[in-house]
């Protein structure tokens, strides 16, 4: 029997996820909104996104199922493989983006060559994977502690020595909200990979979501402040101006490794949902290698469109899961595929993409989730009324 993780271990994992170059870069994208509007968007976006993250963690944690196996509860055994495949693709994409951003920032501080830094970061992620999540407790504690101290110094330098300057660009509050929500939303298909192995899954979901939310808000605020106060969105330049030098390099390298490790690890877990006999660790290492090769061969300069795509895929998916688990209390694992829920998901995906074109004040995520929840509930009421109910009740293990 595998050792179950403690609340402290889960907190460290999600603190490491929040301390990220990608989170800082997301904050820089919000600069056209100004300081106060940008800050409100960061706080509100994380409040909603982390609530969804918590609920998703509870589903898999209570059922002792990995994230993609928990999807079977709503989409059936074969239906979950569709989302597992999408999840593997987004995780490989995230792995490449994170390695790229880390390599660019590291090379800006110590110019050894961007490709060399990409290989170094990829190799360190592989080391993290080989050591394993359950054996990283004390090393994670030291690493995260150092990163928190250095990041606090970076934050202090930025906000103490500059004045706010306007930043040009077109970005509505709704668009900014979607960018922010997409960050915790991108972790929805991962959190149960960790809460399912926790001693206290509900508490671990709460701790993980809270720690990630606070840390991610902090990183986004640093990015927003850096863009407004230094008029620069280049992380390496900001770190050099702050006078951190080698300490800044440590922030870049290890924040990238601790975050990207989670993407690669969960890519391995999701692969096992599709191909059960595969080793999760081997699949995670393959995902890391593919991501590193992608950095060496493909352009990865801007990931805002990637964030919007993640939102459009996983917002309707989690809405259906929440409805089935917390409202309808149905379990569809005995089905090969829940075609009704897949059709609802497709409608939600199209709805999200259409709402993006409207720049509506409520954005895309909130209306999509509300509408999909209503559709899922109404369809189940209709089916139950005409069939007498043929779904197994939810059960915990």
Q: In the structure encoding, which two tokens stand for residue 263, read together?
A: 């993407």
The conformation of residue 327, written as its DSSP 8-state character, comes to: I
Q: pLDDT, tens digit, for every residue of 280-306? A: 889 999 999 999 999 898 877 766 778
Residue that is written with structure tokens 């009324």 in the block: 385
327/390 Cα distance (integer angstroms): 16
Using DSSP bridges, classify how beta strands 330-331 and 392-393 pair: parallel, antiparallel or unpaired. Answer: antiparallel
Share of the chain above pLDDT 70, in %: 84
Classify residue 170 by burial, with Cβ atoms within 10 Å: 0-12, 13-18, 19+.
exposed
Could you tell me how far CA 103 lies from the centroid of its own chain? 20
Query: Is the distance from CB of 352 to CB of 319 less than 8 angstroms?
Result: no
Strand partners, 392: 331
Distance of alpha carbon 121 from alpha carbon 103, whole angstroms = 7
User: 165 vs 20, which has greater pLDDT?
Assistant: 20
Q: What is the sign, positive or negative, of the torsion defined by CA atoms of 215, 226, 98, 252?
A: negative
351 pLDDT higher than 90: yes
Average pLDDT, the chain: 84
Query: Yes or no: is domain 7-303 CATH 3.20.10.10?
Result: no
Report how far apart, in Å, the C-alpha atoms of 184 and of each of 17, 75, 174 are.
10, 22, 16
Q: So what's the pLDDT on residue 237? A: 67
Mean pLDDT of 211-236: 82
Classify the C-alpha dihedral 96-353-322-203 as positive or negative: positive
Listed residue (13, 46, 42, 43) closest to 29, CA to CA: 42
Residue with tokens 């390695």, as numbered in its chain: 99
Q: For 171, list phi and psi in degrees, rounded to 5.
A: -155, 125
pLDDT of residue 240: 66
Cα separation of 195 and 202, whole Å?
Answer: 8
What is the spatial distance between Cα 330 and Cα 318, in angstroms, rounded to a whole number?
A: 15
Strand spans (E) along 195-239? none
Burial of 382 (C-beta count, 10 Å sphere; 0-12/13-18/19+): exposed
Mean pLDDT of 152-172: 68
Residue-level pLDDT at 361: 74
Structure tokens at 364: 């895309």
Segment 254-274 mean pLDDT: 84
For 310, how many CA atoms within 13 A lie in the half-sphere containing its CB?
27
Helices 72-109 and 304-322 meet at what angle, rounded to 10?
150
Per the CB < 8 A criterion, the answer to whether 250 and 156 are in contact is: no
Is residue 379's pLDDT more than 80?
yes
Average pLDDT of the residues in 25-45: 90
Whether the per-residue pLDDT at 148 is higher than 80: the answer is: no
pLDDT given at position 289: 95
Say what the pLDDT of residue 141 is. 65
275-278 contacts at long range (C-beta below 8 A, 24 or more positions apart):
none
Q: Which two tokens stand for residue 345?
A: 């998901």
Retrieve residue 215's tokens.
């840390």
DSSP assignment, residue 330? E
Mean pLDDT of 261-279: 86
Tokens 């809405």 locate to 319
- At a CB cut-off of 8 Å and minimum separation 6, what does 232 contact? 226, 238, 241
């Amino acid at each position: 029997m595998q050792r179950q993780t403690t609340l402290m271990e889960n907190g460290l994992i999600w603190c490491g996820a929040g301390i990220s170059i990608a989170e800082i870069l997301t904050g820089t994208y919000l600069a056209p909104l100004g300081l106060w509007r940008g800050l409100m968007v960061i706080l509100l976006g994380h409040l909603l996104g982390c609530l969804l993250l918590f609920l998703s963690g509870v589903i898999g944690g209570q059922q002792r199922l990995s994230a993609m196996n928990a999807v079977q509860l709503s989409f059936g055994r074969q239906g979950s493989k569709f989302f597992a495949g999408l999840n593997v693709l987004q995780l490989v994409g995230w792995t490449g983006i994170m390695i790229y951003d880390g390599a660019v920032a590291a090379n800006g501080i110590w110019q050894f060559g961007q490709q060399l830094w990409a290989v170094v970061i990829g190799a360190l992620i592989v080391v993290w994977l080989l050591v394993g999540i359950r054996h990283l407790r004390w090393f994670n504690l030291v690493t995260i502690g150092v990163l928190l101290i250095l990041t606090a110094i970076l934050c202090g330098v930025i906000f103490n020595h500059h004045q706010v300057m306007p930043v040009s660009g077109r970005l509505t509050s709704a668009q900014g909200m979607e960018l922010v929500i997409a960050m915790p939303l991108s972790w929805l298909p991962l959190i149960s990979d960790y809460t399912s192995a926790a001693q206290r899954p509900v508490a671990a979901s709460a701790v993980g979501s809270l720690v990630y939310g606070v840390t991610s808000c902090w990183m986004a605020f640093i990015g927003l402040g850096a863009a407004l106060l230094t008029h620069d969105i280049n992380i390496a330049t900001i770190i050099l101006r702050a006078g951190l030098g080698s300490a800044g390099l440590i922030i870049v390298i290890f924040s990238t490794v601790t975050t990207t490790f989670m993407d690669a690890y969960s890519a391995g877990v999701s692969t096992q949902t599709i191909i059960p006999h595969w080793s999760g660790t081997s699949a995670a290492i393959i995902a890391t290698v593919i991501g590193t090769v992608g950095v060496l061969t493909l352009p990865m300069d801007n990931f805002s469109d990637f964030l919007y795509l993640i939102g459009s895929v996983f917002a309707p998916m989690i809405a259906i899961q929440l409805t089935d688990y917390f409202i309808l209390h149905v379990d569809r694992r005995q089905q090969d595929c829940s075609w009704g829920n897949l059709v609802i998901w497709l409608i939600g995906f199209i709805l999200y993409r259409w709402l993006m074109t409207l720049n509506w004040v409520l954005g895309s995520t909130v209306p999509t989730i509300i509408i999909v929840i209503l559709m899922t509930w109404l369809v189940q009421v209709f089916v139950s009324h005409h069939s007498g109910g043929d779904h197994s009740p939810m059960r915990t293990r």
